[in-house]
């Protein structure tokens, strides 16, 4: 009968698995790597989202500006009733987003509801930025019979066409002073050149507002003579510098009274830029 053999406990080389310290180190390394990957992925997605929203706002603003240009260049003016066909500009002060009110008589259908009978002929259109019933600013459109004795904007409910437009600034070019002016007192006439700036809501909360600017030549106005130059402050991002030619009409003659073609001057997109000297703000 053989004696039982003793079994020795396994040595260090025979152990299997990881120690608690090794597991903790692995978890920390994995968490660090995951954090770096997620931060990079999140930053990429956020940048892509902001870029998409920026392009979407610019596309929307470009459409609104094109409608504005189309309506202004379809302006009508007849000398036998200048009081009914004049251009009106009501300056509403400064701030980050001025809210001017502009009005003119047009034969175009831009900014008009499809079922509105006024869109089928001459009508006075009024453009402003007002508070919606929810308390948010938006671009408001009103249309009136152009031969109406008294025009009061409170007589017509506004049609809010864009909640992304939070400000409107209009300037008229003065050829004597060779500068842009906020005031237009000749309500029985139509200016040759106007500069319209739309202020759009920022992409991010508390971020800089987006600005879209156009110079518009109104064909039914008197002929434009002389060069028009920019008046922005030096160092303004995305804007032209003083003395740089923006538009040189060169004495072009207006077409026959009563209407005009479509189109507009240069477009400037300048997020966070300051208004030109003499403007609101």
Q: What is the pLDDT along the chain (281 residues), one digit of tens a residue?
A: 555 565 555 555 555 677 888 888 889 999 999 999 988 888 888 888 888 888 888 888 899 999 999 999 999 999 999 999 999 999 987 677 899 999 999 998 899 988 888 888 899 999 999 999 999 999 999 999 999 888 888 899 999 999 999 999 999 999 988 999 999 999 999 999 999 999 998 888 778 888 999 999 999 877 666 656 554 433 333 333 333 333 333 333 333 333 443 344 444 344 443 333 333 33
Torsion of the alpha carbons at 184, 186, 189 and 193, rounded to the nearest 10? -30
- Residue 2's pLDDT is what? 58
Q: How many CB atoms lie within 10 A of CB 184?
A: 21
Do residues 219 and 72 touch, judged by C-beta distance below 8 A?
Answer: no
- Residue 96's pLDDT is what? 78
- Residue 194's pLDDT is what? 95
Where in the chain does DSSP place strands (E)?
88-90, 101-106, 123-131, 137-144, 159-162, 165-174, 179-181, 193-200, 210-217, 228-229, 245-247, 267-269
> In the Cβ-directed half-sphere of 259, how many Cα atoms lie within 13 Å?
8
Q: Each residue of 199-228: b (16+ CB within 10 Å) or e?
A: bbbbbeeeeebbbbbbbbbbbbbeebeeeb
- Residue 13's pLDDT is what? 55
pTM of the predicted model as reported, rounded to 2 decimal places: 0.67
Question: What CA–CA distance (Å, rounded) separates 151 from 225?
Answer: 33
């Amino acid at each position: 009968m053989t004696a039982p053999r003793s079994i020795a406990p396994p040595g260090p080389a025979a152990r299997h698995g990881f120690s608690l310290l090794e597991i903790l180190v692995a978890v920390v390394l994995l968490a660090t790597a995951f954090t770096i990957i997620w931060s990079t992925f999140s930053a990429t997605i956020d940048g892509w989202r902001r870029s998409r929203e920026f392009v979407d706002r610019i596309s929307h603003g470009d459409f609104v500006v094109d409608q504005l240009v189309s309506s202004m260049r379809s302006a009508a003016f007849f000398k036998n009733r200048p009081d009914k066909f004049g251009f009106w500009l009501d300056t509403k002060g400064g701030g980050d987003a001025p809210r001017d009110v502009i009005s003119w008589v047009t034969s175009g259908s831009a900014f008009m509801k499809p079922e509105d009978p006024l869109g089928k002929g001459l009508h006075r259109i009024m453009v402003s930025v007002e508070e919606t019933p929810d308390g948010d600013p938006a671009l408001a459109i009103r249309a009136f019979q152009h031969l109406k004795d008294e025009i009061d904007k409170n007589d017509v409910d506004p049609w809010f066409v864009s909640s992304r437009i939070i400000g409107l600034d209009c300037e008229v070019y003065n050829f004597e002073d060779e500068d842009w002016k906020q005031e237009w007192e000749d309500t029985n006439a139509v200016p040759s050149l106007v500069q319209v700036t739309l202020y759009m809501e920022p992409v991010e909360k508390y971020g800089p507002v987006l600005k879209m600017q156009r110079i518009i030549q109104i064909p039914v106005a008197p002929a434009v003579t002389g060069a028009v130059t920019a008046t922005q402050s030096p160092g303004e991002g995305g804007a032209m510098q003083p003395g740089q030619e923006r538009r040189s009409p060169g004495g072009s003659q207006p077409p026959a009274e009563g209407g005009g073609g479509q189109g507009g001057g240069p477009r400037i997109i300048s997020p966070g830029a300051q208004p030109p000297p003499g403007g609101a703000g």
